[in-house]
Structure 1
Amino acid sequence: MKIWQAYKTTIIKNCSGTSAQLHGLPYWSNRLFATMMLYLFPLFLFALVPGVYMSIVSNLYQLAFFDIFIVISIAASALLPGLSINVRKGWFIGLLYTLAIGLLYYLGWFGPGLVYLLAITLFCLLIFHGEHAFFTVYVNTAVCISVGICVHFHLLRSGIGLQYTLGSWIAVSVNLVILCAVMAILLPMLFNGLQQSNNRYETVARATTDTIWDWDIAHDSISYNYGMREIFGHPLNEVKNVNKWLKTKLHAADLGLINEQINQALKKGDTLLQLSYRFLCADGKYKHVLDRAFIVRDPTTGVPVKVIGAMQDITRQKEEEQWLRLTESALRYATDAVVIVEAEPDNMHQRKIVYVNEAFTYITGYSQWEVTDTFTNILWGANNQLPDTGEMIDTFEQNGPFEVEVINYKKNGERYWSSKSVSPVKDNTGKTTHWISIERDVTQLKDHVSAVEKQNIQLKEIAWTQAHIVRAPVARVMGLTNLLGDHLNHNPDAAELVSFINISALELDNIVREIIKKSE
Structure 2
Amino acid sequence: MEIWEKYTSGIKNTIFNSLNQNKDLKYWRDDMFSNIIIFIIPLSLIALIPSIIWAVDSGHYLMTFIDILCVLIIIMVGFKKGIKIEYRKLLFIANTYILSFFLLYYVGINSSLYLLASCFLSVFVYSFKNKYTPALLNLNISIIYILLYSFDFITIPDKNFKSNELFAVFSNLIFLSFLICILIPKLFNGLDDSFKESILHAKKIEKQNNLLKEITWIQSHVVRAPLSRLLAIADLLKNTNTTEEEKLFFLDNIIISSEELDDVIKEIILKSESVK
TM-score range relative to shorter protein: 0.7 to 0.9
Alignment check: 8 A CA contact 1:151 1:164 kept: no
1:317 aligns with 2:208: no
SS of alignment partner, residue 108 of structure 2:
helix
Structure 1: distance between partners of 2:209 and 2:247:
54
Equivalent position amino acid for 1:327 in 2: A
Q: In the alignment, residue 317 of structure 1 is paired with which amino acid?
A: I
Q: Deviations over 1:222-255 (max 9, x none)?
A: xxxxxxxxxxxxxxxxxxxxxxxxxxxxxxxxxx
Alignment correspondent of 1:348: none
In the alignment, is the contact (CA less than 8 A) between 2:19 and 2:27 conserved in 1?
Answer: no
The 3 A distance-change label for structure 1 pair 95 and 417 is closer
Q: Give the letter aligned to residue 125 of structure 1.
A: V
Counterpart residue identity of residue 204, structure 1: H
Larger Rg belongs to? 1
Specify the code of the residue in structure 2 equivalent to 1:147. Answer: Y
Kindly state the Cα deviation for residue 55 of structure 1 after the two structures are TM-superposed: 2.4
Which of 194, 219, 222 aligns to 1:197? It is 194
Report what 1:11 is aligned to: 11
Map 1:59-458 → 2, pairs under 5 A: 59-109=59-109, 111=110, 113-128=111-126, 132-156=130-154, 158-159=155-156, 166-210=163-207, 315-324=213-222, 326-327=224-225, 330-331=228-229, 334=232, 336-337=233-234, 358-362=235-239, 418-419=248-249, 420-421=251-252, 422-423=255-256, 424-425=259-260, 427=263
Partner Cα distance (2:46, 2:123) in 1: 26
Secondary structure of the equivalent of 1:82?
Answer: coil
Deviation per residue, 1:455-485 (Å, 9 max, x gap): xxxxxxxxxxxxxxxxxxxxxxxxxxxxxxx
The offset of 1:190, in angstroms, is 1.4
Would you tell me which structure has more strand in proportion to its own residues? Answer: 1
**Which structure has greater helix proportion?**
2
Unaligned runs of 5+ in 1: 211-309, 338-357, 365-404, 407-415, 429-520
Change (3 A) 1:360 1:80: same
Change in Cα spacing, 1:149 to 1:178, as seen in structure 2 (3 Å) is same
Larger RCO of the pair (alpha carbons < 8 Å, separation 6+): 2
Residue aligned with 1:20, SS:
coil
Quick check: 1:14–1:79 contact (8 Å CA) kept in 2? yes
Aligned residue for 1:87, secondary structure, equals helix
Measure how far apart 1:146 and its partner are.
1.0
Alpha-carbon distance in structure 2 between the residues aligned to 1:126 and 1:329: 63
Q: CA deviation at 1:10?
A: 2.2
Question: In 2, Cα distance between the equivalents of 1:122 and 1:105?
Answer: 20
Q: CA separation in 1, counterparts of 2:125 and 2:36?
A: 9
How big is each residue's C-alpha offset from its partner over 1:359-389, in whole Å with a ceiling of 9 and x where there is no partner?
445469xxxxxxxxxxxxxxxxxxxxxxxxx
**Aligned-residue CA RMSD in angstroms?**
3.3
**Which residue of structure 1 lines up, in the alignment, with residue 271 of structure 2?**
none
Contact 2:19 2:30 in 1 (8 A): no
Distance in 2 between the 1:417 and 1:35 partners?
78
Report what 1:24 is aligned to: 24
Deviation at 1:168, TM superposition (A): 2.6
Distance across 1 between alignment mates of 2:171 and 2:191? 30
After TM superposition, the score normalised by the length of structure 2 is 0.80
Counterpart secondary structure, 2:83: coil
* Alignment partner, residue 443 of structure 1: none
Q: 1:15 to 1:162 in 2, by over 3 A?
A: farther
**Quick one: distance in 1 between partners of 2:206 and 2:127?**
27
Count, aligned residues: 258
**Structure 2: gaps (5+ residues):** 265-276
Which residue in 2 is equivalent to 1:388? none
Aligned to 1:467: none
**Is contact 1:154–1:161 with CA below 8 Å preserved after alignment?**
no
